[in-house]
Structures are given as structure tokens and as C-alpha cells.
């Protein structure tokens, strides 16, 4: 990729220019309330989304569409499968994001283990709790780095961990 010489990308420069023009217009016409300066609480760059959750969904689709394994899963799934229903996929991602919060990278977890989309969010949370109680040294990072752990029974994982650590 060519370097832009330390300048911001054109879309950011355009948004900043547009924002500056709106602030100047609002300041020059205090009676008009149609264009108000942004508040300190509002992020300047939402890139076409309204909130954090929508931004997370956008990130999920970028990861999902860019992954060959996910594309293969979609193209080889039968009609009517959750993998062919974008609304159901988004609902599953949103629901799990609400349960697990920002500590777990939900888009990356689903991208790495698409079969988790077949599991309800409640069951994923149950499996996460079972995994954490059986292997307490794992944290939220393990979930998005190796989400396939949630597809394995906790007893099997405990036996594997004991074999690796050399404990009976």
C-alpha cells in the first residue's frame, strides 16, 4: 500500500471537513437548530452505523466475508440453514455480544468456529461457564482465540489438560 505521507485517509479528511462546515454553519446561524455542533459524548466517526453494536455487526460481516472457511460453510450448507439466513446470523451475534460483552471478541469467535452459530446464546454461555469451571486458568481471550473449545465436552477438556500438565 502506498504511503499517504502522514496524512489521514481521504474519507477521514472529508468527514472532518464536513463536520467543520456544519460547526461553522451552526455558529453563524444560532437560530437554526437543524445543524448543531457535535457533543463531546458523540464519537466523530461511526462510519455509517448508529452504535457500538452495529459497528460490531459490520466487523463481523467483514471478517465473515473475508474468511474462506466461512464462505465454504455457507456455500456447502443446505437451503434454510442458519448460514444462509443473514438476519438469524446477525441476531445470534448480537445476542451473544449482549451476554458476553466487550471482553470477548464475538465476531472473531464466530469467524473461527462458524458451527457456534447453530448453538443458542444461552447454551454458549452455559458451555463457557462449564469451560471456565473445569479449566479455571482459561480467560475470555481463550474463547475468541480457540472457540472450538466450546464444542467439546468439559470432561474431555479436563482429561486433556491433565494429560498435558502431567497430573493424574
pLDDT (0 to 100) of residue 111? 92
Tell the residue number behind the cell numbers 472473531, with chain if given: 108
In a domain, 68, yes or no: yes
The answer to whether residues 75 and 103 belong to one domain is yes
**Same domain, yes or no: 62 and 101:** yes
Q: Where are the alpha helices (DSSP H) in the chain?
A: 10-28, 52-65, 68-75, 86-100, 106-112, 121-134, 140-145, 154-165
Considering the domain architecture, whether residues 142 and 82 belong to the same structural domain is answered as yes
Task: Note whether 31 and 97 are same-domain residues.
Answer: no
Do 73 and 144 lie in a common domain?
Answer: yes
- State the total domains in the chain: 2
Selected residue with higher pLDDT from 157 and 3: 157
Residues 85, 64 share a domain: yes
Q: What is the tens place of the pLDDT at every residue in 52-97? A: 788 889 999 999 999 999 999 999 999 999 999 999 999 999 998 8
- Same domain for 57 and 30, yes or no, is no
Task: Kindly state whether residues 27 and 91 are assigned to the same domain.
Answer: no
On whether both 155 and 123 belong to a single domain, the answer is yes
Q: Do the Cβ atoms of 112 and 148 come closer than 8 Å?
A: yes
Most confident of 10-14, 32-36, 101-105: 101-105
Q: Is the pLDDT of residue 40 over 80?
A: no
For the segment 138-165, the average pLDDT, to the nearest whole number, is: 86
Distance CA 104, CA 125 (A): 12
Give this prediction's pTM.
Answer: 0.63
Q: Is 124 exposed, middle or buried (0-12, 13-18, 19+ CB in 10 A)?
A: buried
In a domain, 1, yes or no: no
Mean pLDDT of 93-110: 87
* Together in a domain, 89 and 27: no
Residue 31: Cβ within 10 Å count: 4
Q: Which domain holds residue 25?
A: 8-39
Q: Are residues 95 and 34 in the same domain?
A: no
- Phi/psi at 47 (nearest 5 deg)? 55, 50
Non-local CB neighbours of 12 within 8 Å, separated by 6+ positions? 45
Amino acid at each position: 500500500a502506498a504511503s499517504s505521507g502522514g496524512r489521514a485517509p481521504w474519507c477521514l479528511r472529508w468527514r472532518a471537513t464536513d463536520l467543520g462546515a456544519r460547526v461553522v454553519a451552526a455558529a453563524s446561524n444560532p437560530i437554526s437548530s437543524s445543524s448543531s455542533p457535535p457533543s463531546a459524548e458523540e464519537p466523530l466517526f461511526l462510519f455509517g452505523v448508529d452504535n457500538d453494536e452495529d459497528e460490531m455487526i459490520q466487523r463481523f460481516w467483514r471478517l465473515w466475508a473475508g474468511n474462506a472457511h466461512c464462505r465454504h460453510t455457507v456455500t456447502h450448507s443446505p437451503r434454510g440453514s442458519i448460514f444462509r439466513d443473514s438476519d438469524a446470523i446477525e441476531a445470534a451475534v448480537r445476542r451473544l455480544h449482549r451476554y458476553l460483552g466487550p471482553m470477548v471478541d464475538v465476531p472473531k469467535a464466530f469467524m473461527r468456529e462458524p458451527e457456534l452459530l447453530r448453538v443458542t446464546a444461552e447454551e454458549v454461555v452455559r458451555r463457557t461457564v462449564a469451560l471456565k469451571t473445569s479449566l479455571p486458568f482459561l480467560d475470555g481471550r481463550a474463547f475468541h482465540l480457540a472457540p472450538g473449545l466450546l464444542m467439546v465436552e468439559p470432561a474431555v477438556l479436563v482429561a486433556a489438560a491433565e494429560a498435558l500438565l502431567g497430573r493424574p
